[in-house]
Amino acid sequence: MSIDLKGLDSLEMEHWAREHGFPAYRGRQIHSWLFRRLAASFDDMSDLPKSLRSFLAREATLNHLELVDSLYSEDGTRKYLFELVDGMTIESVLIPERDHWTLCVSSQVGCAMGCRFCLTGRQGFKRNLSPAEIVDQVIQVRRSMESPERLTNIVLMGMGEPLANYENVVRALRILVSETGMNFSHRKITLSTSGLVPEMIRLGKDITVNLAVSLNAADNETRNNLMPVNRRYPIEALLDACRAFPLPHRRMITFEYILIDGINDTKEDARRLLKHLSGLRAKVNLIPLNPHHGSPFSSPPLERILAFQEMLLDHHLTAIIRKSKGQDILAACGQLSGKHPATGA
């Protein structure tokens, strides 16, 4: 069975080259062609001997995500619908910032976490993405851009729970940060989790990236109702893992808090949140709920959102209200479904 070379990190690529009778530097060249120069085929790798390119064509594959559709928001956000080799689909979102772009990538087809406010969770879990499929989202989006060098930030906040696909996600992260790979700064990559505590502890030991925790409630009863994962790893265990998470100098853990009308948006909720985060190097992203069809929830009124933020700021906790981009094309947080636009399937 041929191997998809997009799934190998730099050391694995060198090992693969040596294993097949080629010097290690050929592995580094192939790696650079794939991830730095975005080669679409082995024939594009012009400084490799023809004999090596022929060998690659026989013994390896370069599977590509197929772009099925792309949507453009009024705010400049772009949503990409990709088809995988088995016909399943995922979505990625390119988000405009002041002086750069951020790409939100998916790690699974669907999601098993079952968070009640999230459209992706309603799709159920189909399968994990391979390292190649995770990285190829970045490759394909960069190819579509007029100025691909402006894509500097990656967030694993798309479809799926990244830490439930741990091995594949970490391998993809190593490709993204490798100097011979895509060469992203580890400071510019953020992984978001619903709170898989054992995998959070592993992540902090295995690779350096920014951590975002989807918290969304300040008491276990409310979080149990919103996020089934809390029944396995309640808030106390989750915060213990956050305290143990190794943070480089001047880094903080981001706590994402989706504000839902009448559920988690009171001043008492804010007080409980302050108590939980006391002593942690933390900041809070307050995200007013993004609506989607069939959701039983809605966003709080603006005055309640501002009052919640003010309570946190008054106690010297950094709290930013995040205006979600791409809502008009269902590209905002919690709105991804991976569905074909024509069929809905």
172-197: pLDDT as tens digits:
999 999 988 899 999 999 999 999 99
The mean pLDDT of 16-29, rounded to a whole number, is: 95
Question: What is the reported pLDDT for 338?
Answer: 63
Which tens digit of pLDDT belongs to each residue from 192-215?
999 999 999 999 999 999 999 999
The mean pLDDT of 133-147, rounded to a whole number, is: 95
Segments of 165-303 assigned E as strands: 189-193, 210-214, 253-259, 282-288
* Structural domain spans, the chain: 3-61, 66-329
Q: How confident is the model at residue 294 (pLDDT cuts 50, 70, 90)?
A: confident
Question: What is the reported pLDDT for 335?
Answer: 58
Helix (H) or strand (E) holding 320: strand 319-321
What are the catalytic residues?
91, 333
Report the candidate in 137, 175, 154 with the shortest Cα–Cα distance to residue 30: 175
Alpha-carbon span 134 to 103, nearest angstrom: 12
Work out the angle between the directed axes of helices 267-277 and 302-314 (0-180°, nearest 10). 30
Alpha-carbon span 37 to 33, nearest angstrom: 5
Report the candidate in 33, 13, 32 with the shortest Cα–Cα distance to residue 23: 13
Domain 66-329 maps to which CATH number in 3.30.70.920, 3.40.190.10, 3.20.20.70, 3.40.1390.20? 3.20.20.70
Q: CA torsion angle for 244, 245, 250, 256 (degrees, to 10)?
A: -110
Question: What is the reported pLDDT for 20?
Answer: 94
Q: Would the pLDDT of 323 be above 80? A: no
Question: What is the reported pLDDT for 342?
Answer: 46
Tokens describing residue 88 = 């399943």
Q: Would the pLDDT of 125 be above 90? A: yes
The mean pLDDT of 293-309, rounded to a whole number, is: 91
The secondary structure of the chain in percent helix, strand, coil, rounded to multiples of 5, reads 40, 20, 40
Q: What is the mean pLDDT of the chain?
A: 92
Helix (H) or strand (E) holding 310: helix 302-314
Domain 3-61, CATH: 1.10.150.530
- Taking CA 270 as the corner, what is the angle to CA 264 and CA 275, rounded to the nearest 5 degrees? 125
Tokens describing residue 82 = 């990709």
| DSSP 8-state code for residue 307 | H
Report the candidate in 294, 167, 293, 274 with the shortest Cα–Cα distance to residue 219: 274
Q: Would the pLDDT of 86 be above 70? A: yes
The mean pLDDT of 65-81, rounded to a whole number, is: 93
Locate tokens 């894509």: which residue? 151
Q: How far is CA 124 from CA 113, 115, 160, 170, in A?
A: 8, 11, 10, 23
Segments of 33-161 assigned E as strands: 60-61, 66-72, 78-83, 89-96, 101-104, 108-110, 125-128, 151-156
Lowest mean pLDDT: which of 55-59, 60-64, 135-139, 339-343?
339-343
Alpha-carbon span 129 to 48, nearest angstrom: 30
What is the distance in angstroms between the CA of the first residue and the CA of the last residue of the chain? 31
The mean pLDDT of 254-283, rounded to a whole number, is: 96
Q: Would the pLDDT of 329 be above 70? A: no
